[in-house]
Structure 1
């Protein structure tokens, strides 16, 4: 029974380790394409600069996830952390651009969703940094 458990456990781990990078890369690609489409908002929203920053950040995140998908050892640790941080800053900039867009279309009742996105992004960043700190110390 122990051998079967080990065999099933390693096969499942192998499957998960092969599927997760593909999902991460495709998800980051969709986020980048969606934020590029958002650049077509009117200039009166005054959100274009935030969206350009978000596109740059999402592009960095795509490069990071692509390097993890194709060749995990190609990036050094400082560059990988910079690309990851730029992607997270891009998400914050995108949420701030959504805030400006909601104010432009006069939908302040939807602001709670933007604030939830900002809050969950900050919590995700804190959790991610804590996990990396624990992994580095352990």
Structure 2
């Protein structure tokens, strides 16, 4: 169900030899994102359940999801970037059809994130899914 951009990310991860290289790649993805406007870092966009501070601003434009985000932790910023690659541009029905756990597993993320980071990732995915469900 993944889009072409996510498939490309999967290929990049397959090329990287060890988890440290993959971890760095996730961080680089986060660094490459445009910063989230300060005006969007408000309680309404803050994601509860994350060990670090996380903001996700999601909206549907032309029937397709577009979201931006930010975190005060580099690895979490990278996870936001990965989720953007996975979800941006999908319709609400497509978002709800994505098995995010399976897709993230293809990157090896399920096995290498701490319990706190995994909980935060689940919270971010749930926020995206809730936004999509409300858009239907």
TM-score clears 0.5:
no
Query: Computing the radius of gyration over CA atoms, which structure comes out larger, 1 or 2?
Result: 1
Using structure 2 for the length normalisation, give the TM-score.
0.30
Higher relative contact order (CA 8 A, sep 6+): 2
Q: Which has the higher helix share?
A: 1
Using structure 1 for the length normalisation, give the TM-score.
0.30
